């Protein structure tokens, strides 16, 4: 009996030893993702969770925490300035996203034709996306939209009295929407790649059946690129709700708070008033709003997004 | 061999990525520490206390450790950067063991940056600070290093006690007052002459000039322009001058609602009489500040109420042929009482490893040989020694000095340290901006505006008093 046991142990030994020695070999991938994992935990995970904790406190950057409770969330849902910021953000997002996607798709569609010098055009249309939000862009945008700026000069040429873009609340929202729409390059590139993936034989068959360009676009192109439209819609919606650069560099949230989006409000509360607790609560409410919208979009895709591998 | 090579390459890449991540992290305050600690004995400290006054322009001798690296941060324009960098360079040459890492930039966003650094204990060893920062970032007196502890290295006798008191909380001297500043009326004489007028000396003249500007020069010309914060300062001047009382007394706005209603009526009369453009018009100009506003640059806006230290900025902005002059304080409503305060200071970080060395740098820059190089880049210095030096250099003259003297002579009241609290002064959400916009955009009732301002100021004063 004992001999049998000893033999079993001996038999098991050769398999047990490589098991111990081979942990890093078998989990080599873990080694490769460690730097990222470290960065994620330190720079994303920890702030993410700590902001949740802070959101239930009155944490001030210089005075620390003195009390805890739900008061920050109560303020988010009752304070008129915060509610207004959410309202402006909704308006901004629902103006920016459709305009940007339509514009990006339109340009991508044109650039998909075999036109002479198309590569140069593709580069040119991508340039605004590289510029991003900078002081130079702020100066440019203000020069274009100031009361006696280029836009109003052109409108005046046609006998139209342009608004005071920077001083009028609705007009100011429009100019920061326009900045983001102007930077449509990344969406355009993704659309372009999708358009190139649409099989040409479908167009040829449609042409033979007498379908015009518009019909082909809406009946072939759009259905086949709905997964990409869906992807762009989700990413652009998330970006729009988190927009910061435009209002920060051009209008500083003005006039009279008309362009104070939630992200700018969070920044102001955190780094101007040092009220990290309230800023964290605002950030979490924004996060939840975004999650809800993303969930709605995810749910809705079964009704309008066509995946060719689902047939 | 090939397998090992792969492992080596993989490990190297991982190490490189990890190092990259580490490099992306905070620069930390490690570089802020001087490598060698000060070992000055109390006996030598006592001895150097005496010698500090005698050798106010001392350099290497005043250094705590004589070697190491310090970080120094400030905000400003190019001319201030250049002057400060040159003075630092001179200090480093005179003190070969000391290296000063400079961190500087424009004002925009600077306070946010410093606030974040202070919260993360990664601030520079020596910091240029705004006066009210000591109240905002160190209300209990422990946010910055107590400079009283290095009074053997930094000569405090060069400063009036009243200025040192303004930088002191709970017995801790949290910063060295660098300069004072006050709001002064500046007029574009050229535009006034174009309208056939002399620059105004009273509010009555100013109110009459508005219509004359409109008739003679056109509706785009105004005798004066004021942003929201300028309007608050103008209101403060009007109230202090007319009612002979400080803006805030015992932690409360020192005026009745009726008195303040009168103040807002005055501001409204300026808009109604074409003296100042509306806030809508100013915002539509698309300029961040008046000195960058094309209408100020070409003389369409012919007057401002600005800090005395802003003269160079304003005159430099004007088109050729325009002449800016310092105006008399309007005295037709009472004895002039402008807003006057410590404009800025220098603080030493509470985390500084060698405050004595930091104090030595400040001694050089504010009382010593660096004064000539720094000149009036931070306004008219408070330090007596610096004033003597600049007087001897012939630097202490010109419009900046004149304006500062004028403001100092017409400032009977002390300013509340919370006057510039971000709850009030912040351009995006501050009460001053909101209330002045309510007045200008909506023509809100003066009594309501008075109540709003009273509530806002009293709330900030009460919160800070806690």
Please judge whether A260 and B434 are an interchain contact, meaning their C-beta atoms are less than 8 angstroms apart.
no
Q: State which residue of chain A sits closest to B118, comparing Cα positions.
A: A62
- In the numeric block, which tokens belong to residue A288? 């939840």
Q: State which residue of chain B sits closest to A274, comparing Cα positions.
A: B115
CB of A46 less than 8 A from some CB of B = no
Q: Is the pLDDT of residue B460 over 80?
A: yes
What angle, rounded to 10 degrees, do the helices at A80-111 and A185-196 form?
40
CB of A67 less than 8 A from some CB of B = no
Least confident of B53-57, B246-250, B321-325: B53-57
Strand runs labelled E in B238-283: 248-249, 252-253
Contacts of B394 (CB under 8 A, 6+ apart): none
- In the numeric block, which tokens belong to residue B73? 């941060």
CB of A272 less than 8 A from some CB of B = yes
DSSP-derived secondary structure letter, B301:
B
Contacts A147 to B, Cβ<8 Å? 281, 284-286
Closest residue to A147, CB basis, from B17, B143, B285: B285
What is the DSSP annotation of A122-158? HHHHHHHHHH-S-HHHHHHHHHHHSTTSHHHHHHHHT
Q: Are strands B324-326 and B168-169 parallel, antiparallel or unpaired?
A: unpaired
How far, CA to CA in Å, does B127 sit from each of A255, B139, B201, B349, B382? 33, 17, 40, 7, 17
State CA A195 to chain mean position distance. 22
Question: Whole-angstrom Cα distance, residue B104 to residue B356?
Answer: 22
Contacts B17 to A, Cβ<8 Å? 35-36
Question: Whole-angstrom Cα distance, residue A78 to residue A103?
Answer: 37
pLDDT at B23: 35
Contacts of B227 (CB under 8 A, 6+ apart): B279, B282, B289, B290
pLDDT at B49: 34
Extents of the domains making up chain A: 2-54, 81-310
With tokens 């401002």, the residue in question is B304
Confidence of residue B252 (pLDDT cuts 50, 70, 90): very high
Q: In this structure, what is the dihedral angle of CA atoms B166, B169, B170, B175, given to the nearest 10 degrees?
A: -90
Confidence of residue B29 (pLDDT cuts 50, 70, 90): very low
CATH topology for the B182-340+413-465 domain: D-Maltodextrin-Binding Protein; domain 2 (3.40.190)
Q: What is the mean pLDDT of chain A?
A: 88
Question: Whole-angstrom Cα distance, residue B101 to residue B85?
Answer: 10
Q: What are phi and psi of B328, to 5 degrees?
A: -75, 150
CB of A273 less than 8 A from some CB of B = yes
B200 vs B11: which has the higher pLDDT:
B200
Length of chain B: 466
Please judge whether A62 and B136 are an interchain contact, meaning their C-beta atoms are less than 8 angstroms apart.
yes
DSSP-derived secondary structure letter, B144:
B
Contact B433, B283 (CB under 8 A): no
pLDDT at A17: 52
With tokens 């002081």, the residue in question is A135
CB of A88 less than 8 A from some CB of B = no
pLDDT above 90 covers a percentage of chain B that reads 68
- Secondary structure of residue B351 in the 3-state scheme: coil
Cβ-based neighbour number of residue B259 at 10 Å: 15
The pTM of the full predicted model, rounded to 2 decimals, is: 0.80
CB of A274 less than 8 A from some CB of B = yes
Least confident of A52-66, A238-252, B26-40, B274-288: B26-40
CB of A166 less than 8 A from some CB of B = yes
CB of A62 less than 8 A from some CB of B = yes
Alpha-carbon distance A166 to nearest alpha carbon in chain B (angstroms) = 5
Contact A55, A71 (CB under 8 A): no
pLDDT at B65: 52
Q: Is the pLDDT of residue B4 over 60?
A: no
With tokens 């929201």, the residue in question is B228
Please judge whether B284 and A81 are an interchain contact, meaning their C-beta atoms are less than 8 angstroms apart.
no
Contacts of B260 (CB under 8 A, 6+ apart): B239, B253, B449, B450, B453, B454
Contacts B118 to A, Cβ<8 Å? 62
Contact B383, B86 (CB under 8 A): no
CB of A34 less than 8 A from some CB of B = yes
Extents of the domains making up chain B: 54-180+342-402, 182-340+413-465
With tokens 């090579």, the residue in question is B5
Domain A81-310: which CATH number of 4.10.490.10, 3.30.565.10, 3.30.365.10, 1.10.3720.10: 1.10.3720.10
Q: Residues B202-212: pLDDT tens digits?
A: 999 999 999 99
Best residue in A22, A167, A247 for a mutation probing chain B (most B CBs within 10 Å) = A167
How far, CA to CA in Å, does B167 sit from each of A201, A240, B36, B174, B413? 79, 44, 29, 6, 17
Best residue in B122, B284, B433 for a mutation probing chain A (most A CBs within 10 Å) = B284
Contacts A42 to B, Cβ<8 Å? 25
Confidence of residue A4 (pLDDT cuts 50, 70, 90): very low
Contacts B295 to A, Cβ<8 Å? none
CB of A27 less than 8 A from some CB of B = no
- Sign, CA torsion A11/A17/A19/A20: positive
Contact A293, A237 (CB under 8 A): yes
Q: Is the pLDDT of residue A193 over 90?
A: yes
Q: Residues B338-393: pLDDT tens digits?
A: 999 998 999 999 999 999 999 999 999 999 999 999 988 888 899 999 999 999 98
Q: What are phi and psi of B126, to 5 degrees?
A: -120, 130
* Ramachandran quadrant class, B184 (left: phi over 0; alpha: psi -120 to 50; beta: rest): beta
- In the numeric block, which tokens belong to residue A276? 């990290």
Closest residue to B284, CB basis, from A143, A167, A273: A167
- Secondary structure of residue B325 in the 3-state scheme: strand
Please judge whether B441 and A256 are an interchain contact, meaning their C-beta atoms are less than 8 angstroms apart.
yes
Please provide the CATH number assigned to the domain covering B54-180+342-402: 3.40.190.10
Least confident of A115-119, A175-179, B174-178: A115-119
Q: Which residues pair with A57 in a beta bridge?
A: A68
- In the numeric block, which tokens belong to residue B180? 């004072």
How far, CA to CA in Å, does B296 sit from each of A46, B187, B375? 49, 11, 27
Contact B66, B97 (CB under 8 A): yes
Q: Is the pLDDT of residue A211 over 90?
A: no
Q: In this structure, what is the dihedral angle of CA atoms B371, B92, B63, B32, given to the nearest 10 degrees?
A: 110
Question: Whole-angstrom Cα distance, residue B110 to residue B124?
Answer: 13
Contacts A144 to B, Cβ<8 Å? none
Q: ipTM for the complex?
A: 0.78
């Amino acid at each position: 009996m004992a001999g049998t046991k000893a033999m079993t142990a001996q038999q098991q030994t050769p398999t047990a030893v490589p098991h111990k020695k081979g942990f890093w070999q078998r989990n080599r991938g873990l080694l490769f993702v460690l730097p990222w994992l470290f960065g994620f935990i330190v720079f994303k995970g920890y702030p993410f969770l700590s902001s949740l904790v802070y959101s239930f406190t009155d944490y001030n950057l210089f005075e620390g925490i003195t009390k805890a409770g739900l008061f920050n969330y109560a303020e988010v849902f009752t304070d008129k300035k915060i509610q207004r910021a959410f309202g402006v953000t909704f308006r901004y997002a629902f103006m920016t996203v459709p305009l940007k996607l339509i514009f990006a798709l339109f340009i991508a569609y044109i650039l998909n034709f075999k036109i002479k010098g198309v590569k140069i055009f593709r580069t040119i249309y991508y340039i605004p996306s590289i510029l991003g939000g900078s002081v130079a862009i702020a100066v440019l945008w203000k020069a274009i939209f100031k009361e006696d700026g280029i836009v109003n000069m052109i409108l005046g040429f046609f006998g139209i009295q342009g608004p005071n873009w920077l001083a009028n609340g609705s007009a100011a929202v429009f100019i920061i929407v326009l900045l983001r729409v102007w930077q449509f390059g990344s969406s355009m590139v993704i659309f372009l790649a999708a358009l190139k993936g649409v099989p040409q034989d479908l167009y040829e068959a449609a042409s033979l059946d007498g379908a015009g360009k518009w019909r082909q676009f809406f009946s072939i192109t759009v259905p086949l690129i709905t997964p990409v439209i869906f992807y762009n819609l989700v990413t652009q919606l998330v970006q729009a709700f988190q927009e910061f650069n435009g209002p920060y560099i051009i209008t500083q949230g003005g006039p009279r708070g008309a362009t104070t989006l939630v992200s700018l409000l969070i920044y102001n509360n955190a780094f101007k008033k040092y009220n990290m607790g309230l800023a964290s609560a605002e950030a979490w409410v924004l996060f939840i709003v975004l999650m809800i919208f993303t969930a709605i979009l995810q749910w809705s895709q079964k009704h309008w997004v066509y995946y060719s591998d689902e047939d | 061999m090939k397998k090992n090579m792969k492992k080596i390459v993989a490990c190297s890449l991982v190490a490189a990525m990890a190092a990259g991540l580490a490099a992306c992290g905070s620069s930390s305050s490690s570089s802020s520490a001087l490598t060698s600690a000060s070992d000055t004995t109390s006996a030598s400290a006592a001895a150097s206390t005496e010698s500090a006054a005698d050798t106010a322009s001392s350099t290497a001798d005043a250094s705590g450790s004589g070697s190491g690296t310090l970080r120094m941060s400030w905000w400003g324009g190019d001319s201030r950067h250049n002057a400060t960098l040159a003075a630092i360079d001179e200090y480093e040459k005179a003190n070969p063991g000391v290296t000063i890492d400079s961190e500087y930039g424009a004002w925009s966003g600077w306070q946010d940056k410093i606030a974040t650094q202070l919260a993360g204990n990664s601030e520079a060893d020596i910091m240029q600070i705004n006066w009210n920062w000591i109240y905002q970032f160190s209300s209990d007196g422990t946010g910055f290093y107590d400079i009283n502890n290095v009074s053997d290295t930094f000569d405090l006798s060069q400063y009036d006690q009243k200025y040192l008191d303004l930088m002191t909380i709970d017995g801790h001297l949290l910063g060295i007052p660098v300069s004072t500043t006050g709001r002064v009326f500046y007029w574009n004489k050229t535009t006034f002459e174009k309208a056939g007028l002399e620059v105004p000396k009273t509010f009555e003249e100013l109110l009459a000039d508005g219509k004359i500007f409109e008739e003679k020069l056109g509706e785009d010309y105004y005798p004066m322009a004021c942003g929201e914060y300028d309007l608050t300062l103008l209101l403060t001047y009007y109230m202090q001058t007319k009612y002979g009382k400080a803006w805030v007394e015992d932690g409360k706005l020192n005026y009745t609602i009726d008195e303040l209603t009168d103040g807002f009526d005055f501001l409204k009369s300026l808009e109604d009489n074409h003296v100042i453009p509306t806030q809508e018009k100013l915002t539509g100009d698309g300029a961040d500040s008046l000195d960058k506003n094309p209408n100020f640059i070409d003389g369409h806006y012919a007057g401002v109420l600005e800090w005395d230290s802003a003269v160079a900025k304003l005159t430099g902005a004007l088109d050729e042929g325009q002449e800016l002059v310092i105006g008399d304080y309007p005295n037709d409503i009472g004895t002039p009482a402008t807003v006057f305060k410590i404009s800025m200071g220098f603080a030493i970080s509470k985390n500084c490893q060698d405050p004595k060395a930091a104090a030595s740098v400040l001694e050089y820059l504010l009382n010593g040989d660096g004064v000539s190089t720094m000149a009036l880049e931070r306004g008219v210095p408070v330090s007596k020694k610096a004033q003597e030096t600049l007087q001897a250099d012939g630097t202490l003259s010109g419009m900046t000095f004149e304006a500062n003297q004028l403001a100092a002579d017409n400032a009977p009241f002390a300013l509340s340290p919370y006057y510039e609290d971000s709850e009030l002064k912040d351009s995006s959400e501050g009460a001053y901006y909101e209330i002045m916009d309510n007045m200008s955009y909506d023509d809100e009732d003066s009594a309501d505006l008075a109540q709003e301002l009273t509530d806002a100021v009293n709330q900030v004063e009460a919160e800070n008093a806690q």
